[in-house]
Amino acid sequence: MQRLQPASVTALVAESASDVMALTSPPQVCLRIESLSKQFGDFTALKSIDLEIYEGEFVCFLGPSGCGKTTLLRAIAGLELQSSGRIIQNQRDISKLPPQKRDFGIVFQSYALFPNLTLADNIAYGLKSQGYNKARIRERVAQLLSLIGLEGSEHKYPAQLSGGQQQRVALARALATEPGLLLLDEPLSALDARVRLHLRQQIKSLQQALGVTTVMVTHDQEEALTMADRIVVMNHGVIEQVGTPEEIYRHPVNAFVASFVGTMNLLPVEIASASGVLLGSQPVACQPHVLQPGAAAHLGIRPEEVVLFDQPSSDAVLEARVVHSEYLGAFMRVTCDLLMQDQQVVVDLQHTDAERMVIAPGREVYLQLPQRYCRIFAEQER
């Protein structure tokens, strides 16, 4: 057996320590947004936004129309100049730089391809403006066409492609110059559902393969939940919550996030204790909270978390009557009127359970709201 010399041992230990540090060191910040605000006359589109985006992650800005998500993306790109605050990319302050001086590629909802240029020329547009030689351009164009599954199509024109194919070419053009940041402005919203599903899988796979830091604007919660490493939920120009898809869905910080991402029952309640509320006159156990007894609040529970019984049970605390059922493919969504309160609760059931219990309008049922799923939100969030 060959013995390691002391110098070799030292080098090996140093290498191992380096590997451990690489595994345990915090992710590098690619983009930092500090106290960013944007006014359009008397209207404030963004209110003191603070956000860090890490190297190689896929972040979605999610929110309703007019929440400020597109304005924030355009500020990052330099297409809108912020009223105050800073944008720092890889430790470089880009706050006042014009778009052409910033390191990003962008894909718009409308594709924005040049109709009079071939696919090869569309993809090569940025490469030519940066002075790449012809051989390198041909190599890069071929590489990107292969990546998006359109090899051999370099001489076609955009009008000869489907919407999904055009969007893939727009993506390839944005990636051609190997930008440090990829910006996607609702890139799938103009496509039909089937193409959208396929293309979002392709975009995510391509992003992971290339490791490019990506920011996407969307109002589609399903897109955000399936594509993002982290979701930034926005409303009225502020960030409501930042977290992984699971954190946003399972642990929403307020009633807005709870109701905007997924379906949520929000039931008016009165705080009774640190882990209990009154739903009408009915005591209900809930997750611990900090609201004071007597305060008005909302109890939030998702339809798939409610347990429905077709017979009285010691576990069920609420009597209800089925008023509507809706077939949604993978499950049945059942709307119930609570008999003791003027409120409704929505329950998602597997088809086998709905059939076994003969769930139909008019049927009396019994509901359990498991304590671990009963989230409490203050009545006034803002």
Q: How confident is the model at residue 245 (pLDDT cuts 50, 70, 90)?
A: very high
Indicate if the pLDDT at residue 16 is higher than 60: no
Q: Which of 270, 252, 268 is nearest to 260 (CA)?
A: 252
Those residues whose C-beta lies under 8 Å from the C-beta of residue 29, and which sit 6 or more positions away, are 52, 53, 54, 55
Q: How confident is the model at residue 23 (pLDDT cuts 50, 70, 90)?
A: low
Dihedral angle of Cα 211, 212, 218, 224, to the nearest 10 degrees: 20
Pair 235, 67: CB distance under 8 Å: yes
- Average pLDDT (205-215) is 95
Return the pLDDT at 260: 95
State pLDDT tens for residues 251-287: 999 999 999 999 999 999 999 999 999 999 999 999 9
Q: How confident is the model at residue 14 (pLDDT cuts 50, 70, 90)?
A: very low
Indicate if the pLDDT at residue 12 is higher than 50: no
Q: Which runs of consecutive H residues, i.e. helices, occur in 296-375?
A: 351-356
Partner residues linked to 319 by β-bridges: 366
Return the pLDDT at 275: 96
**8 exposure class (CB count in 10 Å sphere: 0-12, 13-18, 19+):** exposed
What domains lie within the chain, and their CATH numbers? 29-255 (3.40.50.300), 263-378 (2.40.50.100)
Return the pLDDT at 364: 95
State pLDDT tens for residues 39-80: 999 999 999 999 999 999 999 999 999 999 999 999 999 999
Indicate if the pLDDT at residue 22 is higher than 70: no
Residue 151 DSSP symbol: T
Pair 341, 323: CB distance under 8 Å: no
Return the pLDDT at 24: 57
